[in-house]
Amino acid sequence: MKHVRVLYHDDPKPKVFSGRNDWKFGYDDCYDDADILGFVWESWNRGSGHESEQFLKLGVRSMMVGDYVCINGVWHECLDFGWRINVPWEEVMGDIPKEDFTDVTKKTVENALVNQLFGDPKNN
């Protein structure tokens, strides 16, 4: 079982709210983290057509850029394009400044993924 929890970036007391049991749930180990992040995004967004009963029962806002999802102790931050993986706990809790990713574009992400998958063509 993969243990998952959601934390909104604008929670006024993240250290308190990160322990809320009603914001925790689990997924089978057969799913990888990328799948789980996609499932959580859909299930915690009103209008997706795949909202979870838990999300609807809580009556909270939809997830948005800057919010966090923790999977088995590894924090992920929702970005404009995709997710930032392994966000430091201190940043999630607001103890250190949040990294600025406003200059990241879809093209930047595409290039990084291609480079990750196939290597930098300049080095081949």
Pairwise pLDDT comparison (123 vs 37), residue with the higher score: 37
Domain range spanning residue 92? 2-96
- Number of domains making up the chain: 1
89 within a domain of the structure (yes/no): yes
- Whether 88 is covered by a domain: the verdict is yes
Tens digits of residue pLDDT in 73-87: 999 999 888 899 999
pTM score of the predicted model: 0.78
Residues 8-46: tens digit of each pLDDT: 988 877 766 666 777 889 999 999 999 999 999 999 999
Q: pLDDT digit string (tens) for 93-114? A: 888 888 777 777 888 878 888 8
Distances (CA, A) of 95 to 14, 89, 91, 110: 10, 9, 6, 31
111 domain residue, yes or no = no
CB-count burial class (<10 Å; 0-12, 13-18, 19+) for 106 = exposed
